[in-house]
Homo-oligomer: A and B are copies of this chain.
Amino acid sequence: MISKKVADVKEAMKGIQDGMTFMLGGFGLCGIPENAITELVSSNIKDITCISNNAGVDDFGLGLLLHKHQIKKMISSYVGENEEFERQMLSGELEVELTPQGTLAEKCRAAQAGFPAFYTPAGYGTEVAEGKETREFNGKMYVLEEAFKADFAFVKAWKGDEAGNLIFKGTARNFNPCMCGAATITVAEVEELVPAGELDPNQIHIPGIFVQRIFQGENYEKRIEQRTVRPRN
């Protein structure tokens, strides 16, 4: 067994530098790598490019990095729910590349699985396809999209073992598995880190080969954006 375990978030983040490109898992605030984000904020790293489906909210998630102007560029599919983001984007302080959500997921998966590019129908005929190659297959038009290149991927899982194997929970899975192995170094933080051998090999969502560093996360807030409930009759 090849151990991926590191002592803490500080050791896990070794090597991050200004100007790097990071992938961050999560959908909204669900399944985001809270520990990595906190460490990025306190590291004062700057000029970073973030590949993340969303940009957090004003006072949580990637919103924290935005407020400190640490982010140079965001690559996302949906950035509502964040006023500071909208302000920085409309004023031109922040570079933004909006990408269809399925394309975003697949650009990660392509990087993970060694595909340089793929054809997708998403965005054909829209400004997303401007400057990109388009092509017909079986009477339908597709856009050529290239795999992402990133220095670090920060993901959050529910359970993990020392070998780097990961299991996600519910919809906190989202982009996290797609980003594993899609960057030079994948850092996984988990709610529960167990010794190798404790997870069923048949139930691993992401094999450890896609993860370079894993650590036991702490103090998860797991904030809910839209608490919707129904009455008990």
Contacts and interface: CB of A to CB of B under 8 A. Distances in A.
B114 A121 contact: yes
Interface residues of A, number: 20
If over half of A's interface residues share one DSSP class (helix, strand or loop), that class is named, otherwise mixed; here it is mixed
A109 B13 CA distance: 34
Nearest to A118: B118
Nearest to A142: B116
Contacts of A119: 115-118
Contact of A137 (B116, B140, B201, B202): B116
Interface of A: 114-121, 137-138, 140, 142, 146, 167-170, 201-203
21 contacts: A114-B120, A114-B121, A115-B118, A115-B119, A115-B120, A116-B119, A116-B137, A116-B138, A116-B140, A116-B142, A117-B119, A117-B137, A118-B118, A118-B119, A137-B146, A167-B202, A168-B202, A169-B202, A170-B201, A170-B202, A203-B203
